[in-house]
Structure 1
Amino acid sequence: MIHRPQRVLGESSSDRRGVAWAGGVGAIAVVAALGAWAILGGGSDEEGTVPPPAASGETVAPTVDGAVLEGALTLSPGGAAVVGLEGTDAEAEWTSTDPSVAAVEGDRVEAVASGDAQLRTEVDGAVVTIPIAVRVAWTALEVRAADGSALGSPVVITEGGSVATRAVLVSDDGSEGDGAEAEWSSLDASVASVSGGAIRAESPGATVLTARVGDFEATVSVRVDATPAPRPPVRVPTPGPEPATPSGPGRLVILITPGWANAFLDGQPIGEYLSRYEIELEAGTYRLRLENPAFAPADTTVTIRPGETTRWERRLGNGSDS
């Protein structure tokens, strides 16, 4: 938009003289001696860009890849374009207001990172600008767990439970963008409701949730399982008192048939010429030996338990015992 300068007159016709007017980026118009106005160069106000005139009187317009630009130039990170001017033979020297967003070398501009910048050049004393918007070209929308991991299919939630998710914009080059502005909806909110990516299981059943960001949408299948019935408590019987462990000494009874024998316990004699022995011993295991000159010696081991009587019978001559 051009603000038309008002006619300026002095005290007399001899006081009339030119007055220069300037916009945001350079000279816009001049009021001539008789009050007429004419565009001298390009300039910008809040509503747009005014291209400067060429030396021949033609309008100079910025071009992108050979076509006249209308509005802003939009590129994706890594994208590039060739800029120029139509309506002048002057060689443009372009500069970028933010090379971290859009870098320019000669007539080639390359998008570096998301953001906004301007390319500027001066022609015949006036500034020409090209607004540049660098935006990632998203190709799809995904719904993931809040930590970024993949969700199961379906997402299984127990009645009354909840799962946090988030929407993520993705591009072909692997770039990812926050889909926090996603609009969420549930095919059946009585089964599972969703707000800001937080899924709440309302009642048993199945439903589908949808996230939308602009023209992109992603769906999530959800299954709600019923809350399991509480298990009855397991009752463990209280153990009764431990049975009393016998203590104290035990008894050993030795019966010998026919005749008699001398008895030895752990090599120590416990009696001579007897057919029956009965002795009290401390609990434990002992070596027992019976001797009679008419027979071969008899050897065995006996175990004495506290409070119990251990009985051993030996029949001399045939090697039998019990």
Structure 2
Amino acid sequence: MSQLKKHFPILRGVFGAAKGTVKAVDEVSFTIRKGETLGLVGESGCGKTTVGRCIVRAYPITGGQMLYQTRDNEFIDLAAVPEKELAPFRRDIRLIFQDPYSSLNPRMTIFELVSEVLRVNKLCSRDEMQSRVEDLLKRVGLRPEYMQRYPHAFSGGERQRIGIARALITNPRLVVCDEAVSALDVSIRAQTLNLLESLQADFDLTYLFISHDLSVIRYICDRIVVMYVGKVVEVANALDLYMTPRHPYTEALLSSVPIADPVGRETRRRIYLQGEVADPSHPPTGCYFHPRCKYAQDRCKTETPDLRRLNGHHSVACHFAEKLELKGVIYD
């Protein structure tokens, strides 16, 4: 995607007149490579979920491009595709929701939930539909005889597996995982992450994995995009970003990652950012992060840094990235 924007109007008064806009996503650019898992991280409210929902076109796009390479190797700008022509792309690009409880209709059976997209789009016959649902439930670790049960009969981890099956029923190419494990118990998260990795290999999937949990992101992602107040501030391979962050905001995020080693905890310096997250309806001038950055200089207050490549696949939006010596996280 290139220069993607999603602005929400602020409506006030009896007639709902627009009094301003919230720049939830502001000129975001990055690439998702075929077969990889790209992590999208940042604080709550930074716009990462909005990016995911723009990709699946749950939201209309304010500006920018989303170039998608089809199965015929043609490039289509998803941001410009009319709503009535989106059905084929929505079969290829699917979404796994965060909450396994509210995302499943309690009045529908598991068979109805998983097969609904097949029925609505008339993609196969009833018999074939039943066969596909049975096979997919087995692949996600559920028994086919559970098809006629309702969501209340399942645990949170099982419900999320149902959500995964629903996302994969159309044989998609890209799956947006929006905080897919954050609502699960810690003991269930590793199982779900292992399942997602296994399904990625079996179905040749590409993932956009949205999360605020940096430990989860490190475990499953190949590359990572860091967002702050609607903008991308750093993009790098997972190992490079964790060991050698180049943006002060990334350094602060990494300092909050829990370390199991007691000795490591004692020798590590936690970074506490001063002030509040910038208001996306009235962002500061220059670099959005400068009011909270201890490295900020006068240039940061007036000039917005471009996202530029430093070396290899490491890109950063900071005027002084080459001069800063930032600390990362070293894992065994």
Which is strand-richer, 1 or 2? Answer: 1
Which is helix-richer, 1 or 2? Answer: 2
TM-score range, shorter chain: under 0.3
- TM-score scaled by length of structure 1: 0.19
- TM-score scaled by length of structure 2: 0.19
Q: Which of the two has higher C-alpha Rg? A: 1
